[in-house]
Amino acid sequence: MQPASPFRTPAQKEAERAAKRDAVLRAAVKMFNERGFHATSLDDVAASLGISKRTIYHYLANKDQVLLECITIGLHQLLEAAAEVRSEPGDGRHRLTRFLRRYAEINMEDFGRCVIRTGVEVLSPDSLPRYRQLKRAIDDALRAMIEDAIADGSIAPVDVKMAAFVLAGALNWPARWHDPEGPLPVDVIARKLVDILTEGLNPRP
């Protein structure tokens, strides 16, 4: 039996690199959310991890790329949630409600919060096409769910574009006011918000 090699395999090296890159992004996104993009430097991010700024450059080219990657993670989380919900059984209203709850939850978590709290104006011109493509895909997914729910009669006919704007706008706002240290977990807040949006303010029987 051969002794275990002290050298890491290519897969181990790649896993280690991915873990370190992820650590940089998680440290950065927290600072972007707390301080804002312009008030956060890569020196700040590096110091929080006990590394040098030069080390960050092994994984990400510059601060603009760090921001784009943070936003991309948040947007992909929303797209993945949409894909998961679309495959669930039940009527269109059920799937729409499930997606809206996940939408709200993600926007109260670090990477989703970064998407909302970071104005599009701080993105570099090179980053804008990718950002806009992902945002459009999320809007398309939401509109498709509204259309499906209208088609199967589980929600009333509405202006699909207007409904998507109202729902997304309402569920984006918690990214700004939600306190992670508050008494209610994000899933409870998300459920309460979506209940108001989907049930309205009518008196209950």
Convert the pLDDT of each residue in 35-87 to its tens digit.
999 999 999 999 999 999 999 999 999 999 999 999 999 999 999 999 999 98
Please indicate whether residue 109 or residue 201 has the higher confidence score (pLDDT).
109
Cβ contact 32:118 at 8 Å: yes
Q: Which residues contact 61 (CB under 8 A, 6 or more apart)?
A: none
Q: Is the pLDDT reported for residue 15 higher than 90?
A: no
The answer to whether the Cα torsion of 84, 87, 89, 93 is positive or negative is positive
pTM for this model (two decimals)? 0.89
Q: Is the pLDDT reported for residue 167 higher than 70?
A: yes
N-to-C CA span, the chain? 74
Convert the pLDDT of each residue in 114-143 to its tens digit.
999 988 889 999 999 999 999 999 999 999
Long-range CB contacts for residues 201-205, cutoff 8 Å, separation at least 24: none
d(CA 120, CA 115): 9
Task: For each of the domains in the chain, give its residue range(s) and CATH number, in order of start.
Answer: 9-60 (1.10.10.60), 68-199 (1.10.357.10)
Alpha-helical (H) ranges within the chain are 10-35, 42-49, 53-56, 63-86, 92-107, 110-117, 128-151, 160-172, 174-177, 186-199
Mean pLDDT, the chain, rounded, equals: 92
Which range is least confidently modeled, 78-82, 103-107, 179-183, 189-193?
179-183
